[in-house]
Amino acid sequence: MFLGNYALLYTYSSNRHTQQFMPIKQASSQQSPSSTETLSVLVIGATGTAGQATVSALLSYGHNVTCFIRQKKSQARYNKDTSPHQLPKAVTICYGDVTATSSMIKNNLGEKRFDVLVSCLASRTGVKDDAWAIDYQAQSNVLQAAVSLGITHMILLSAICVQKPLLAFQHAKLAFENELINSGINYSIVRPTAFFKSLSGQVNRVKRGKSYLIFGNGKLTSCKPISDSDLGAYMARCITDASLHYKILPIGGPGNAITPYQQGEWLFEMTGQTPKFRSVPVAMFNVAATLLTLMARINKRFESKAELARIGRYYATESMLLLDQKTNRYVEETTPSTGTDTLKDFYQELLDGHKTVSRADHAVFDNDQSD
């Protein structure tokens, strides 16, 4: 089970260090790179949608990009411009396992030297073991190996929801953020709000004439979603823009914050239908989490299910906006924005068949057969 309204990649503010939030003016993700300096960049987590967009942006800046990825027995289809991993052929591919020791990762990378490490790596499920293995330990392993290979700057894709940590994956992400900050190298920690694909789980449902599912009245939460391409451009910009160095950088997309209810209204308007909402009580997550936690005491296999219920409850009740630590309220006005892509335009492209999304482990509404 996972909540379709937001993605699991998105994640706190640690009290163990002073945060330096960097508001920025809204800027086009299509801006031409201003720096002509060519750097050697190592990328992990490159095969996800955010990773692919970041790789493309890095190449547009003229950097030499090496992607450290796991080799799979069966490769996806590819065309003349991409590798079997859906990465541009201009990148150098290095195979290895991010969960291996730092010395093994260093051996996989060989004698290569790098200036910058960019990580778009994230656990797939967010449950405890997965989160600590990927969101913390794998990140740490690669950082140690990369530092020994010469990097002086790491750009980390984190998540804005770590500012209010209640979940295992949020604590794992924060543990690595803290390690990076204390590593002594330059860092840019990017905390995006919500991804377009995470808010697209009900597009096909509405297209089929079904109701749009909301939690409570659909106005409990809001977000300023950002596209992969706008995020990728921002990540690449962190390399040469000194104002983004040694910073924790919450970032959203352009425009006003939107609620799940508004997202549903857009879809009904675009499909020419009369709005039809169906409210799902948030309390169901409380009941599920409580029961599964009790069952986990008897059988460990229920631990992950209980954590997934807690994740669902979190995204049903917490906004993906910057949190004012003094008032404990989410503030749209102080949440920085970048780019030009909008969720509404993305919905239209999905409805027109010009784009598709594969939400994998994070899908919950896509295959829903209820009314």
Sign for the CA dihedral angle at 249, 120, 112, 87 comes to negative
Residue 292 exposure: Cα atoms within 13 Å on the Cβ side: 17
Q: pLDDT value at position 72?
A: 67
pLDDT averaged per 10 residues in sequence order, the chain, 371 residues: 33 35 40 64 94 96 93 52 74 91 85 92 93 96 90 97 96 98 96 96 95 95 97 97 97 97 98 96 88 88 90 94 96 97 97 81 44 53
Could you tell me how many residues make up the chain?
A: 371
Q: How far apart are CA 117 and CA 42, in angstroms?
A: 5
In the chain, the amino acid numbered 155 is I
C-alpha distances out from residue 225 to 119, 134, 276, Å = 20, 24, 23
The whole-angstrom separation of Cα 297 and Cα 295 is 5
Give start-end residues of each CATH 3.40.50.720 domain in the chain: 40-197+223-251
Backbone angles phi, psi at 62, to 5 degrees: 90, 10
C-alpha–C-alpha distance, residues 308 and 324, integer Å: 26
The tokens describing 135, both together, are 């969101």
Q: What is the pLDDT of residue 68?
A: 93
How far is Cα of residue 319 from the mean position of the Cα atoms in its chain?
Answer: 15
Q: What is the spatial distance between Cα 111 and Cα 114, in angstroms, rounded to a whole number?
A: 10
Written as six digits, the tokens of 284 are: 């169901």
Distance separating alpha carbons of residues 158 and 135, to the nearest angstrom: 9
Half-sphere exposure of 310 (CA within 13 A, CB side): 20
Say which CATH topology domain 40-197+223-251 has: Rossmann fold (3.40.50)
Q: How many Cα neighbours within 13 Å face the side chain of 38?
A: 6
Q: Which two tokens stand for residue 368?
A: 């829903």
- pTM of the shown model: 0.85
Number of C-alpha atoms within 13 angstroms, CB side, residue 342?
Answer: 10
Return the closest-CA partner of residue 214 out of 290, 351, 331, 315: 315
Specify whether the CB–CB gap between 119 and 59 falls below 8 A.
Answer: no
CB 247 within 8 A of CB 20: yes
- What is the pLDDT at residue 360? 53
